[in-house]
Amino acid sequence: MAVFTLMVAVPLVYAGYLSFYRKQLIGGVSFVGLENYIRALSDPSFLGGVGRMALFLIIQVPIMLGLSLLFALALDSGMLRLQRIIRLGVFLPYAIPSVVATLMWGYLYGKDFGPFAQLAKVLGLPTPDFLAGGNVLFSIMNIVTWGFVGYNMIVMYAALRSIPSELYEAARVDGAGEWRIAWSIKVPAIKGALLLTTIFSVIGSFQLFNEPNLLRVIAPVAIGQDYTPNMYAYQLSFVNQDDNYAAAIAFLLGIVIMAVSYAVQLGARRKDAA
């Protein structure tokens, strides 16, 4: 309890306290109430970042969790050869720090030096620009998907292994095939794990920072300082020295994440009740 209070509650209370104040060169620190929050709700940088991450969530998360589920079902079926090697190979990218993974993919994406660009030149094709304004969000999605498919696969695979095998035997006696067993028994049985990975993915999407922040070095035009809400809060706090407004941005982002996570849970409950 003491650790929770010291490490979680105290920083939150202090950040909340900061968010109700404003610091000015002339006049010093003054209490402004909800002014920072009202300002954030009409700030195009903050709203643009939230909207961009919402798009990221809608496109990237279903693809990532779909691939994770596919790999988990394939491994659990026992029909794959070299299961341990495949499981390790899918999980391995998660063990690579996101900074290293982003630097690696940044090299691969490079328009002038990357292997994809070099291959396109050899084949006489137009050079792909993965870091152009219209493509960079999808390039970031690819990096995150590559890194987190294995993690989510392990969570789902562990849930699949806890299902009693008698259910499969009874289904096979009734004439069900492997696809039918997967769709009608396995997937419904791991709804808890699917919900857990979905909520973790929602949180991770809105907290995106490392990947766009590092790629910004080689794509400064496509990725601005306010590309994600976390990057914007970092810019406000550590570059602009506006800690009060950054705290308000952080709290509003937390509220957005809680609202989306609650909506996901509520949707799952209603689906179960239907």
DSSP 40-83: HTT-HHHHHHHHHHHHHHHHHHHHHHHHHHHHHHHHHHT--SSH
pLDDT tens-digit map of 110-143:
888 889 999 998 998 888 899 998 899 999 999 9
What pLDDT does residue 51 have?
96
What pLDDT does residue 253 have?
93
50 pLDDT more than 90:
yes
pLDDT tens-digit map of 190-244:
999 999 999 999 999 999 999 999 999 989 999 999 999 999 999 999 999 899 9
- Over the range 232-254, which residues count as b (16 or more CB within 10 Å of their CB) and which as e? bbbbbbeeeebbbbbbbbbbbbe
56 pLDDT more than 90:
yes
Give the residue, 174 or 47, on which the prediction is more confident. 47
pLDDT tens-digit map of 5-15:
888 889 889 98
What pLDDT does residue 248 have?
95
Give the residue, 43 or 268, on which the prediction is more confident. 43
Q: What average pLDDT does the chain have?
A: 91
